[in-house]
Copies of this chain bind each other. A is one copy, B any other.
Amino acid sequence: MTPRTTGPIRLLLADDHPVVRAGLRAVLDTEQDFEVVAEAATAERAVALAATGAFDVVLMDLQFGAGMHGAEATAAITAAADAPRVLILTTYESDADILAAVEAGAGGYLLKDAPPEELAAAVRTAAAGRSALAPAVAHRLMDRMRTPAQALTKRELEVLQLVGEGLSNQQISKRLFLSQATVKSHLVHIYAKLGVDSRTSAVAAATARRLLRR
């Protein structure tokens, strides 16, 4: 969507929690230059509404109780020409989630524990066509850049994700069309980077460091 130079910033709230929607509305509607135009309780509904072109910024949750995931919805929305900006607003800050959201074309990534002023500032930043990252998220990305040594590669995250789903090396090798030797090789690297020595503790450490979605 082309940034409009006049009128309030028109918002769409997409979250499956009524309480959160009410909270966002309460926090954002008090800003004079914002107008909460609509709410969506599902990702599918958000995609449909966003296509009407009646919004400048979409505030999108990642986890919906059922149905489409927020990242999918973001991709669907931003795929359109003249699409609104999508701001991710979620509770979690996992590497997997952040990377998925950025790949889907999100214009920002905020955390739900953010203070209202930070929220408002991020919405204005996104509306102006610039990227808005929560400090904690920005910090995580900086960390990832600063110390790539301990950052897991995409392939390693892929393997670790399957480990977290309970698959054996054998099953992972079949799923990813690899030999068991390769899976073990990846695991050895993962253990070294996370400072652990077993698959279960790797999953625990990765979950604690928010490297894996959960």
Total A residues in contact with B, Cβ cutoff 8 Å: 37
A138 interface residue, CB < 8 Å from B? no
- A24 touches which of B19, B112, B168 (Cβ 8 Å): B19
- Chain A stretch 2-55: residues in CB contact (< 8 A) with chain B: 16-27
* Number of copies of this protein chain within its complex: 2
- Chain A stretch 127-184: residues in CB contact (< 8 A) with chain B: 163-168
Shortest distance between the CB of A63 and any CB in chain B (Å): 9
Q: Which B residues touch A68, using CB under 8 A?
A: none
Q: Which B residues touch A27, using CB under 8 A?
A: 18-19, 22
Which B residue sits closest to A168, measured CB to CB? B198
Cα-based distance from A186 to B26 in the complex (angstroms): 50
Whether the Cβ atoms of A201 and B112 lie closer than 8 Å is no
Cα-based distance from A80 to B165 in the complex (angstroms): 43
Whether the Cβ atoms of A204 and B26 lie closer than 8 Å is no
Cα-based distance from A40 to B119 in the complex (angstroms): 20
A-B contacts, 29 of them at CB < 8 A, read A16-B113, A17-B23, A18-B23, A18-B27, A18-B113, A19-B20, A19-B23, A19-B114, A19-B119, A20-B23, A21-B23, A22-B22, A22-B23, A22-B27, A23-B24, A65-B113, A163-B200, A164-B204, A165-B201, A165-B204, A166-B196, A166-B198, A166-B201, A166-B203, A166-B205, A200-B200, A200-B203, A203-B203, A207-B214
What residues make up the interface of A, taking CB atoms closer than 8 Å to B?
16-27, 65, 91, 112-116, 119, 163-168, 196, 198-205, 207, 214
